[in-house]
């Protein structure tokens, strides 16, 4: 049996979730290419009926079962209502999904999911689909992508933390939160704290103090303190930084996901990984993910400061 299904009848994979524009589809394409280089047989499943023109080939497309434009026309629904209906229709047609997924046994499966946040915070349809997949022998981890530019705005970052926590509690899958598009973070402005403050979600009281300097947020200090207390009391949210152009970064995400869904490295895959990483970045690539990204970020910021000084 292939790498993705070597543990008996189990099939390992990822459900890729997150808000619109967080990079889910790009992540799925890059992750498939990376995993194939490691020797895994990978299948892509599109569960987003709004994805009409996919940039990559998928082995299974929800469009074969239900199409969002048809639902909107037939039921006079908007995009959000139509998407919720499509997910409920998918959950009600589990037999169709199960039969199509039988053909993917032996593969490592990537599920590209819709971007509507309510599907992961309080709506039941997609959670029911994930529960069905678990009963069918799939061992999945939820990979929740969040655009890294939210780190540059303390108010938005607190909102992201609340959304991530709500998603983790609602989806009920092993969870890996990912800060995507780290290669673009320097374009969004200077961070108030070091990157590890955001990835490890350290003492958030400093973030509340930072917000107090804004006249608008000063009026909501008590509310922000309570939100921060909820996040810290659960102590569940942390992030893995990701740049899909960087093989080191991709490898660290794969390691986190493999721990979450129970996939174990085999000897053959380990050798393939060593060859791949040695060819790409040299043999010594075992260092902290956050420190590596932070170093690149600081260098880009210092360069920007130097250019500003030269202009003056």
pLDDT in tens, 233-262: 999 999 999 999 999 999 999 999 999 998
Task: Give residue 173's pLDDT band: very low, low, confident or very high (50, 70, 90).
Answer: very high
Secondary structure E strands in the chain:
11-17, 42-46, 60-61, 108-112, 138-147, 175-180, 240-241
Question: Which two tokens mark 189?
Answer: 């402005």
Domain boundaries, the chain: 11-201+237-262
Q: Tell me the fold of 11-201+237-262.
A: Rossmann fold (3.40.50)
Contact between residue 199 and residue 241 where contact means Cβ atoms under 8 Å apart: yes
From 36, 53, 30, select the one nearest 2 (Cα to Cα): 36
Distances from the Cα of 4 to the Cαs of 92, 153, 211, 236, 303, in angstroms? Answer: 27, 39, 46, 28, 44
Percentage of residues of the chain with pLDDT beyond 70? 81
Alpha carbons 280 and 263: distance in angstroms, whole number: 24
Residues whose CB falls within 8 Å of the CB of residue 236, separated by 6 or more in sequence, listed in order: 165, 168, 175
pLDDT > 80? residue 231? yes
Whole-structure pTM value: 0.82
Q: What is the pLDDT of residue 202?
A: 84
Average model confidence (pLDDT) across the chain = 84
Give, in degrees to the nearest 5, the angle at Cα 167 between 246 and 115. Answer: 65
Q: Listing from the earlier edge strand, what are the strands of the sheet with 138-147?
A: 60-61, 42-46, 108-112, 11-17, 138-147, 175-180, 240-241
Q: How does pLDDT run across 138-167, given as a tens digit for each residue?
A: 999 999 999 998 888 888 899 999 999 999
Distance (Å) of CA 86 to CA 23, 106, 116, 306: 22, 28, 12, 52
Coil, strand or helix: which one is 161? Answer: helix
């Amino acid at each position: 049996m292939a790498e993705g299904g070597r543990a008996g009848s189990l099939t390992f994979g990822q459900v890729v979730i997150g808000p619109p524009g967080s990079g889910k589809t790009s992540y799925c394409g890059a992750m498939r290419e990376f995993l194939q280089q490691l020797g895994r047989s990978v299948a892509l499943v599109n569960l987003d009926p709004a994805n009409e023109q996919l940039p990559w080939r998928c082995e299974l497309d929800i469009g074969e079962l239900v199409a969002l434009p048809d639902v909107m026309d037939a039921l006079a629904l908007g995009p959000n209502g139509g998407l919720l209906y499509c997910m409920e229709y998918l959950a009600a047609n589990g037999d169709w999904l199960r039969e199509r997924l039988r053909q993917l046994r032996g593969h490592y499966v990537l599920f590209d999911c819709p971007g509507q946040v309510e599907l992961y915070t309080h709506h039941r349809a997609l959670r029911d689909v994930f529960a069905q997949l678990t009963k069918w022998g799939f061992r999945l981890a939820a990979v929740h992508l969040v655009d890294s530019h939210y780190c540059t705005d303390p108010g938005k970052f607190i909102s992201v933390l609340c959304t991530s926590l709500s998603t983790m509690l609602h989806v009920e899958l092993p969870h890996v939160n990912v800060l995507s598009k780290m290669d673009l973070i320097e374009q969004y402005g200077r961070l108030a704290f070091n990157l590890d403050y955001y990835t490890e979600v350290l003492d958030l009281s400093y973030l509340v103090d930072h917000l107090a300097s804004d006249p608008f947020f000063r009026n909501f200090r008590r509310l922000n303190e309570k939100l921060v207390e909820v996040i810290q009391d659960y102590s569940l949210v942390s992030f893995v930084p990701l740049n899909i152009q960087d093989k080191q970064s991709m490898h660290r995400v794969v390691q986190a996901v493999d721990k979450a869904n129970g996939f174990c490295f085999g000897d053959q895959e380990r050798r393939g990984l060593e060859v791949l990483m040695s060819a790409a970045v040299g043999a010594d690539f075992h260092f902290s993910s956050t420190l590596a990204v932070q170093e690149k970020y600081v260098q880009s910021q210092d360069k920007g400061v130097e250019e500003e000084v030269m202009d003056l």
